[in-house]
Chains A and B, each alone.
Chain A
């Protein structure tokens, strides 16, 4: 990237925590948000757990009419983007035509759209406003409208890597001077579609997910939104902005292997991680740890471990590969952004987070996963991986 990009605002609203302060504690202290799901009936499925946003009243937050015109994903996105905007203090600093928004999204407003479909199947009259957020681009539009952002409006939708790519793309727009600031991140929610879908593929663990552990059975779904505000370093420091970290670079690609199964060789995944480091101008030795995609599915965790070995070689066992998904759940389209925010907060605290819910050592996952507890680190650089349906992969390089 041509000019360094700094993070001047962070925001989060997810099942594990509803603001940055609480989320920092959850990540550093290893507080899992996994619990029962009651957003919809999960009794027909083997797994009835997830990381659901609780104690949230959209009408109290947005008013009756406001809540009705926003999908659950839009609501989460507005709250998290609002916290990031507030922290950055950029409102009124830049011309709205030089500020952009880039959102990574997945199932988006499917939760509400399902209610419309259920009514349609029963030939009942349901509110058409339930369909407003069915497409993933709606969250970017409502954020642009709410925060008077007019320079760019974009949405990336590559399933579970969406919001990591959104952050990479947002950083690129800032670094080359196309925009002065970008609000970027992701939002996604629990829905019957994804809950039933992943259960139908038998990749949902009936217990809280335990990435890289022996006996792991799959994911634990979550929901939420995370956003960050990006600016050029020179301008941000000149105006005295708080700098939480930097987006140093990213790489994106596709395995071209299979819609749902990762390429077991890990070759493309490792190439993308290497590309991200190269683009960031960061050497392998500078990377202190990697926030894994780390879903807890039997195959993903082995492939990601293999990719780590291809990237770091003999040093692979010295670079902890940790998953924060046991804390947040797998938030799909928002996962990349939530994990990027977790990584930045952990870097700021000089801590490598713990991978929770250890069940035993898997001989096929033979790296250091910080299963025993969080760890202090002097490293100021970490990577965050996101793998997705379709073989889409994004790696972010983040630093203090």
Chain B
């Protein structure tokens, strides 16, 4: 389905990834084509040599007191920090906007899994005495978005989306719709994911460690969307506009070309970013021969919700008036194509 977006702009960005904390290190990695993946430590005994996209440069203590950090899971810390940085980038401080007019939709990958594993492990190893109640609230996948909403006072629409490798894109689609309906003036959107050794063990057992889980990533890409009139009225810098959000649930055998036609724009973009398994689809490469490519999987890793970081990299790369296309895919669907235009062209 295709959704023509009118008057929704991007006014804030942030990223936490294996490249570092912030948009600049991410753009540096993209510009230099530098791989930021690291070796999974042998001490974790996962097995044969593997690489992952850990956000090793991120330290929660740089952003919040240790006691505060303790009440969050890692995904929530990423989301709290990244959404705060994106709001700051947009020039929005807590209280500037009526809380009910600002919301959050986040694509979550393995959010909640780490706390779930630790909570259940405690039970399996020590019975009810091993259960830690404080872990339980953050076992839900929406903990990241909800903790961010609590931290930044976001009382508007609040939704967490998970859909394979297109989780961040699903969240952005929801955010655009909520704004179009007038349910919010500002939405924080994007994707967040985290890595744990147990996940790597699971990937190995499922034989995904050499396939789509090779170089699995964590981090958060946060994007502040705003109604153009709202952004202009407060004099915000407009980084980009969104023109269309298109998606397909899955490809039907024999009708793949028709589906791709529904997704791809009629005009070739200057830039294309690829997330999920989009970089593995030859059809996408064939359809967009001249575009400059941002393929974050090879640089910072691939994950279910790293589309947020990919979109942030794409938006930050666009010059005024340049068209950028973000493509995301999962082998079993869905597929997304999101068109941006840089700056605020007249």
Contact = CB atoms under 8 A, between A and B. Distances in A.
Interface string B141-158: 111011101101111111
Given A144-B333, A254-B104, A154 B170 contact: yes
A253 B251 CA distance: 33
Interface stretch (A3-11, A116-124, A295-303): A116-124
Contacts of B145: 254, 390
A126 B206 CA distance: 11
A101 B249 CA distance: 8
Interface stretch (B6-14, B18-26, B129-137, B282-290): B129-137
A132 B116 CA distance: 16
A395 to B, nearest CB: 12
A135 B248 contact: no
Contact of A253 (B137, B155, B198): B155
A232 to B, nearest CB: 14
A173 interface: yes
B128 A156 contact: no
A256 B142 contact: no
A369 to B, nearest CB: 28
Contact of A196 (B119, B147, B161): B119
Q: Which of A150, A252, A253 has the most CB of B within 10 A?
A: A253
A193 B146 contact: no
A391 B163 contact: no
Contacts of A388: 140, 142
Contacts of A152: 1, 247-249, 334
B89 interface: no
A144 B249 contact: yes
Nearest to B152: A256
Interface in A223-239: none
A83 interface: no
Interface stretch (A19-27, A57-65, A157-165, A282-290): A157-165
B205 A150 contact: no
A136 B162 contact: yes
B249 A389 contact: no
Interface residues of B, number: 75
B162 A137 contact: yes
A96 interface: yes
A253 B100 contact: yes
Q: Which of B117, B158, B262, B333 has the most CB of A within 10 A?
A: B158
B158 A252 contact: yes
Contact of B158 (A98, A137, A254): A254
B146 A391 contact: yes
B198 A120 contact: yes
B131 A157 contact: no
Interface in A105-150: 105-106, 110, 114, 116-118, 120-121, 126, 128, 131-132, 134-137, 140-141, 144-145, 148-150
B68 to A, nearest CB: 13
B96 interface: no
Given A120-B198, A157-B160, A259 B146 contact: yes
B142 A392 contact: yes
Given A117-B121, A391-B146, A253 B3 contact: no
B142 A121 contact: no
Contacts of A197: 119, 133, 136, 139
Q: Which of A126, A193, A257, A279 has the most CB of B within 10 A?
A: A193
A140 B163 contact: yes
Interface in A187-216: 192-193, 196-201
Nearest to A157: B141
A155 to B, nearest CB: 5
Interface in A261-276: 268, 271, 275
16 contacts: A114-B120, A117-B117, A117-B198, A128-B205, A144-B333, A145-B332, A148-B252, A150-B250, A155-B161, A178-B3, A197-B136, A200-B136, A253-B103, A254-B146, A279-B181, A389-B143
Given A97-B259, A148-B252, A158-B146, 6 more contacts: A44-B128, A155-B163, A196-B128, A199-B128, A252-B157, A390-B142
Per CB-CB distance, the 8 closest pairs between chain A and chain B, nearest first, are: A390-B146, A254-B158, A197-B136, A153-B249, A128-B205, A200-B133, A259-B137, A157-B141
